Structure 1
Amino acid sequence: MRAQQRLIHAVSIWVRRQPPKVKAFLAVVSGMAALVLLRFIVHDHDNLFVAAEAVHSIGISVLIYKLTREKTCAGLSLKSQELTAIFLAVRLYCSFVMEYDIHTLLDMATLATTLWVIYMIRFKLKSSYMEEKDNFALYYVLVPCAVLALFIHPSTSHNLVNRIFWAFCVYLEAISVLPQLRVMQNTKIVEPFTAHYVFALGVARFLSCAHWVLQVLDSRGHLLVALGYGLWPSMVLISEIVQTFILADFCYYYIKSVFGGQLVLRLPSGVV
């Protein structure tokens, strides 16, 4: 085990010493290798989306445990939870009026738990909420997503307003974790349950992104055509990729911390 830890430590030091372009190249190569592996292991790629939902549920369960048993919301971003509630509510509306399916029920359950988390942070555990650290202005996220949705949205036969809402929730989901990353950037030290939750989000995002990418590859690009014309199909795929890479750096330090036997995650300057 110590030899394994020394190897991981040596690799992490080597990676940290590389210039940003090399780090980006290594991240892309690692992502592509993981996609190739998943393509051979998982025959039905729809299972990746189910797995993403399952991992997200595990992350929320960890969050619920932290709030109910630890009686603290320290390190959590209320603003990220509020953004999550907004895009889930909009997506639920779109699901009801456009394409009601099993994912609608999953979103209802996720929205319910997210609203409970918001209630706990705002009222029950307000004394432990790090409001001064949770200083990401929401209009930096909401306004660009709304403007982008006005110009780039699905080209289906549905009502225009519903199509704009659909695009808005896709864009907002992609960057809803930014306030949480800002809190961790401000504190530099992330306690275990918060780290587990954010890592679960990162894994769920990667599995969801892998689902879309592999579906596009298997359909030889026909899936993008089925989503409509113009920039919208590409923006859906780009949004999935952005979600993954936003959390990639944090996930790297999380894995490094776990293998190093550290219970508390310490982030170096410039991370997230």
Structure 2
Amino acid sequence: MNVFRFAGDMTHLFSVLVLLLKIYATKSCSGISLKTQELYALVFLTRYLDLLTDFISLYNTVMKLVFISSSLAIVWCMRAHPVVRRTYDKDQDTFRHYTLVAGSLVLALLFHDRFTIREVCWAFSIYLEAVAILPQLVLLQRSRNVDNLTGQYVFFLGNSSVCFYERELLSCKPVAHCTDLHERAYRAFYILNWIYRYFTEQHFSRWIPWIAGLVQTGLYADFFYYYYLSWKNNVKLQLPA
């Protein structure tokens, strides 16, 4: 494990804790997109199929279980919690997220490393994760005024790559040029991680997560700009309509 992967893990974990703090402390999910949370839950469930068959390390297993359980817990709170669910703004959260699922599935069937269930599911999770934040960004743009905890959640989520595992993680097979089978890159750290691995591992190349990561980061660019302005001017975060 290198420092960039660990930093990404911790940043993503912190973003989840911020969101859970908002929900449980305020008993409100206002400003949070249920559709984005459902997409992330689907991302983790389809990516971590190897939990049923392989053991890589205790850290690896614990982090996978944390990401899956926390995503499902957030979805449950927004759908079933007697108080929290009343604060969900369904009228604003209208992005047709099933189109993202369908598009990601088509891409996974067309572009993958090998045509197996696990490889296709892995590719599907990478493509879907790249666009899973879209319903959340659209919701924030519609509501315009963003409370501090919601803004911090999206900021830290954007600085972590809600994870994409590389091919070796799912295949769990020895690969000559792979020195860490559970290497993970994250949005704010994936460029550093790629540079590090490019110079330390022979023939390191992962075009699917690279392209998806670039798309994912591009989607956050506008939010990061306005987040920076709000921080610089010490004012509440507001997004343009």
TM over 0.5: yes
Partner of 2:194: 213
User: CA–CA distance in 2 between the matches of 1:189 and 1:140?
Assistant: 27
Gaps of 5+ in 2: 162-186
Deviation at 1:144, TM superposition (A): 0.8
Higher-helix-fraction structure: 1
Q: Match of 2:133?
A: 177
Match of 1:199 among 141, 151, 155: 155
| Superposed CA offset, 1:220-263 (max 9, x none) | 87111xxxxxxxx322211111121211210121121012111x
Gap change, CA 1:57 and 1:189, over 3 Å in 2: same
Find out whether 1:104 has 2:104 as its counterpart. no
Residue aligning to 1:243: 216
Distance 1:107 1:192 in 2: 28
Per-residue Cα deviation, 1:65-106 (whole angstroms, up to 9, x for no partner): 111111111000001110100110111114544674433321
SS in 2 for 1:153: coil
Which residue of the other structure, out of 256, 261, 269, is the alignment partner of 2:234? 261
Deviation at 1:59, TM superposition (A): 1.0
Provide closer, same or farther for how the CA distance between residues 50 and 220 of structure 1 changes in structure 2, counting only shifts above 3 A.
Answer: closer
In the superposition, relative to structure 1, how do residues 178 and 221 fare at CA in structure 2: closer, same or farther (>3 Å)? farther
CA contact (8 A) 2:4 2:190 kept: no
Selected match of 1:165 from 110, 114, 121: 121
Two-structure CA RMSD over aligned residues (Å): 2.0
Aligned to 2:77: 120
* Matches of 2:192 and 2:238, distance apart in 1: 31
Match of 1:34 in 2: none
Is the Cα contact below 8 Å between 2:4 and 2:193 reproduced in 1? no
> Residue 202 of structure 1 contacts residue 248 of structure 1 at CA under 8 Å; is this kept in 2?
no
How many aligned positions are there? 213
TM-score (norm 2): 0.82
Aligned match of 2:97: 138
Tell me, yes or no, if structure 1 residue 154 matches structure 2 residue 113.
yes
- Contact kept? 1:46, 1:211, Cα under 8 Å: no
- For 1:8-45, what per-residue CA distance to the aligned partner results, in whole angstroms no more than 9, with x for missing partners? xxxxxxxxxxxxxxxxxxxxxxxxxxxxxxxxxxxxx8
- The percent identity for this pair of structures is 29
Q: What CA distance in whole angstroms lies between the structure 1 residues aligned with 2:62 and 2:98?
A: 29
Aligned partners of 1:66, 1:90: CA distance in 2, in Å? Answer: 27
Cα offset, 1:178, TM superposition: 0.9
Q: TM-score, normalised by structure 1?
A: 0.73
CA gap of 1:212–1:70, structure 2 versus 1, over 3 A, is same
Tell me by how many angstroms 1:49 deviates. 1.3
Describe the shift of the 1:268–1:107 C-alpha distance in structure 2 as closer, same or farther (beyond 3 A): same
Distance 1:94 1:134 in 2: 33
Out of 219, 222, 246, the residue aligned to residue 203 of structure 2 is: 222
Which residue of 51, 55, 69 maps to 2:11? 55
Q: Matched residue of 1:265: which SS? A: coil
Report Cα offsets for 1:137-162 as digits up to 9, x if no partner.
Answer: 1221001110111111124xxx7111
AA aligned opposite 2:131: I
The 3-state SS of whatever aligns with 2:204 is helix
